[in-house]
Amino acid sequence: MARKKIIAGNWKMNMTPSQAVELVNTLKPLVANDEVDVVFCVPAIDIIPAMEAAKGSNINIGAENMYFEEKGAFTGEISPEMLVDAGVKYVIIGHSERREYFAETDETVNKKVLKAFEHDLTPIICCGETLTQREQGVTIDFIRQQIKIAFLNVTAEQAAKAVIAYEPIWAIGTGKVATTEQAQEVCKAIRECIAEIYDDATAEAIRIQYGGSVSASSAPELFAQADIDGGLVGGASLKPDFGAIVNYNK
Ligand code: 13P
């Protein structure tokens, strides 16, 4: 069965609650495309108003992060139960900015992935190499390590439902999109890694996105690649351009 594309916006630390409502209302008619899954991952404080504004549309509201404990003395964190209660289905885990600025590691990513599945949340698990790693030719080795640790103790049934976002760090917010060949090569390697950990059926089912300076002009070619099942979009997800990205196949 063909995998359904999943195109997600990552708003990062942008948009106040009232701006979020405005943006959802602006984008709602532009992102109407039932052939793909559309997700807006928004700051925690925007989740409820964005959810309200998106009602009746094809937009799913997702989170940008969550903590791996159930509840308790973890000031400032958001629990999986809070997300579920707000109606969230998708949560970004281990974005490179969380790894770089908030000390997230492959191990904490793994804990969050397990916790997300426990609560029936679909994790969008991020991986990606630095420019130095690419230049030194260790990209695939590094990504395989990130994937193997992220999926530790995750069952095949859970893994089949996961989303992986391959985001080369050097391509994030730089306007420097990976070439189609570079993106496809790594996404294919990720699928092969999943097949090694689990089996071919799990690898065929899992969805792998590309992220890093995706734009309306680069999306069609990227999303046409055999192993690229959509995108995780930063900057362009805050603009009407996101409509063109979501409708890349029209
Ligand atoms: P940009 O699309 O702004 O490069 O951001 C990519 C990203 O980090 C999405 O998670």
pLDDT digit string, tens, across residues 154-211: 999 999 999 999 999 999 999 888 999 999 999 999 999 999 999 999 999 999 999 9
* Range of the structural domain that residue 29 is part of: 5-246
Q: Report pTM.
A: 0.98
- How remote is the CA of residue 38 from the centroid of ligand 1, in Å? 16
Please give the DSSP secondary-structure letter assigned to residue 151: T
Ligand 1 atom with the shortest distance to the CA of 92: 10
Active-site position among 64, 97, 129, 167: 167
Does residue 167 carry a catalytic annotation? yes
**Distance (Å, rounded) from C-alpha 158 to C-alpha 43?**
25
Domain tally, the chain: 1
pLDDT of residue 177: 86
Residue 37 binned pLDDT confidence (cut-offs 50, 70, 90): very high
pLDDT digit string, tens, across residues 84-127: 999 999 999 999 999 999 999 999 999 999 999 999 999 999 99
What tokens were used for 242? Answer: 């996101």
Q: CB within 8 A of 23, min separation 6: which ones?
A: 15, 238
The radius of gyration of the chain's CA atoms, rounded to the nearest angstrom, is 17
- What residue owns the CA closest to ligand 1's atom 9? 234
Residue 123: phi and psi, rounded to 5, are: -80, 140
Q: CB within 8 A of 141, min separation 6: which ones?
A: none
Query: Cα 48 to the chain's mean position, in Å?
Result: 20
Query: Cα 172 to the chain's mean position, in Å?
Result: 13
Q: What is the CATH number of the domain that holds 97?
A: 3.20.20.70
What tokens were used for 208? Answer: 């792998």
Q: Is the pLDDT of residue 36 over 80?
A: yes
pLDDT digit string, tens, across residues 1-28: 689 999 999 999 999 999 999 999 999 9
Q: What percent of the chain is predicted at pLDDT more than 90?
A: 96
75 or 177: which carries more pLDDT confidence? 75
234 CB within 6 A, ligand 1: yes
Q: Is the pLDDT of residue 68 over 90?
A: yes
Q: CB within 8 A of 5, min separation 6: which ones?
A: 35, 36, 37, 207, 223, 229, 230, 249
Beta bridge partners of 37: 6
pLDDT of residue 175: 86
Please give the DSSP secondary-structure letter assigned to residue 46: G
pLDDT of residue 211: 97
Among 239, 218, 228, 209, which Cα is nearest to 176's? 218
172 CB within 6 A, ligand 1: yes
Among 144, 166, 162, which Cα is nearest to 205's? 162
The preferred substitution site among 104, 130, 208, 213 for testing ligand 1, maximizing ligand atoms within 8 Å of CB, is 213
Does residue 100 carry a catalytic annotation? no
218 CB within 6 A, ligand 1: no
